[in-house]
Amino acid sequence: MSEAIIDFNEYELPKEYPFGAKLFFLYFLNVADWFCTQVLIDTGYFHEANPMMSWIMDYPLVGFFVKCILPLALSIIIWLFYKIFKIQQNKFTNFIIYTGVILYSVVISVHIVNFLLLFFGF
């Protein structure tokens, strides 16, 4: 009987994305969430589900500052901190970023459903 020998050296591990790319993607999802939320609120058929953000989203410039400018500044500071001190990615930072990506992906999915309901009346 012949046995299959698996050589694990011939398989590559999944590509690890740079820390800055992960932060940028998380920031992009944040901005997409703000934009979709603002558009849906402006239709008059929807409101902000998060009570803490509700009053902020009533003022588009304040919402833009809180949801776009502050996170951008924070992302740049975090990225620079990692670059200057040559900190390597670890499981904790990846967990935080991937959790944020998953949560924002769920929120964006809800926005897509709301757009479908609004424009196509499903």
- pTM, to two decimals: 0.84
pLDDT digit string, tens, across residues 1-51: 556 565 556 666 567 899 999 999 999 999 999 999 999 999 999 999 999
Mean pLDDT, the chain, rounded, equals 90
State residue 59's pLDDT score.
92
* Residue 6 is assigned to a structural domain of this protein: no
Structural domain includes residue 115: yes
CA pair distance 46, 8, nearest whole angstrom? 52
CA angle (12 as vertex; 6, 16 as ends), nearest 5: 150
The answer to the question of residue 75 being in a domain is: yes
Number of structural domains the chain divides into: 1
Whether residue 9 lies inside any domain: the answer is no
> In this predicted structure, what is the pLDDT of residue 78?
95
Question: What is the pLDDT, as a whole number, of residue 3?
Answer: 61
- Residue 28: inside a domain: yes
Helix-helix angle 19-43:70-84, to 10 degrees: 180
Tell me, yes or no, whether 105 lies in a domain: yes
For residue 59, tell me if it sits in a domain: yes
Give the pLDDT confidence score for residue 8 in this predicted structure.
57
42 is in which domain, residue-wise? 16-120
Looking at the chain, list the stretches that DSSP marks H as alpha helix, in order from N- to C-terminal side: 19-43, 51-57, 60-64, 70-84, 91-120
Query: Is 5 inside any structural domain?
Result: no
